[in-house]
Amino acid sequence: MQTLNEIPFSKAVKIASIDDKELAGILFPMGCLVGETIEKIQSAPMGDPIMCRVGDHFISIRKSDAQHILVTDKN
């Protein structure tokens, strides 16, 4: 399984799990539900944090947190 950091920009994938319990507790109510589509859109001017599209909505997280989001291919 790959982490979100390893996925190129503009490629939609699915959230498989979040392996940091505290982070999962923050991201889950913000719509990062298991099975939801996630796509890296762009990075901030200095390369970090990144902006992601989750479903039809947008969140921003740091790369250090993105490495705890495990993803699988969309189908």
Partner 1 sequence: MKKEKTYQERTVYLVGNPNTGKTSLFNQLTGLNQRVGNFPGITVEKKTGSFISPTGKKINIIDLPGVYSLDSQSADEKLAADYIKKSKDEIILIVTDATNLKRNLVLATQIMDLKKTIVIAVNMMDLLQKANMDIDFGKLSKLLGVPIIPVNARIGKGIDELKYALANHDISASKSFLGEHSKHPLMDENLLRYNKIDSIIKQTVHKKGENKLALQTLRFDKWITHKYFGFLIFLSIMFMIFQAIFSWSAYPMEWIETVFLQLSETIQTKLPQGTFTDLLSNGIIPGISGVAVFIPQIALLFFFITILEDSGYLARVSYIMDRLLRPFGLNGKSIIPMLSSTACAVPSIMGTRIISNKKERLITILVLPLISCSARIPVYTLLIAFAIPADMSLGPFNMQGVVLMSLYLISFISALLVAYVLKFLVKTNEKSRFVIEIPIYRIPRIKSVLLTMYQKVRIFMVDAGKIILAISIVLWALSSYGPADKMQKIEEKYRSDAVKQQFSEKEIAQLIQTEKLENSYAGILGKTIEPMIKPLGYDWKIGIALISSFAAREVFVGTMSTLYSIGDENEVKLIEKLREAKNPVTGKPVYTFAVAISLLLFYVFALQCMATLAIVKKETGSWKWPIVQVLYMGALAYGSAYLAYHLLS
Chain contacts with partner 1 (rule: CB under 8 A):
21-31, 33-35, 41-49, 51, 53, 55-62, 65
Nearer to partner 1, 2 or 30 (CB): 30
- Structure-block tokens of residue 24: 């999962």
Measured from the CB atom, is 57 or 74 closer to partner 1?
57
Tell me the HSE value of 29 on the side-chain side, using a 13 A CA sphere: 3
Output the smallest distance, CB 26 to partner 1, in A. 5
What are the backbone angles phi and psi of residue 19, rounded to the nearest 5°? -90, 15
- Pick the closest to residue 44 from 29, 66, 16 (CA basis): 66
Shortest Å distance, C-beta 59 to partner 1? 5
CA dist 63 and 75 (Å) reads: 25
CB of 60 to partner 1, least distance (A): 5
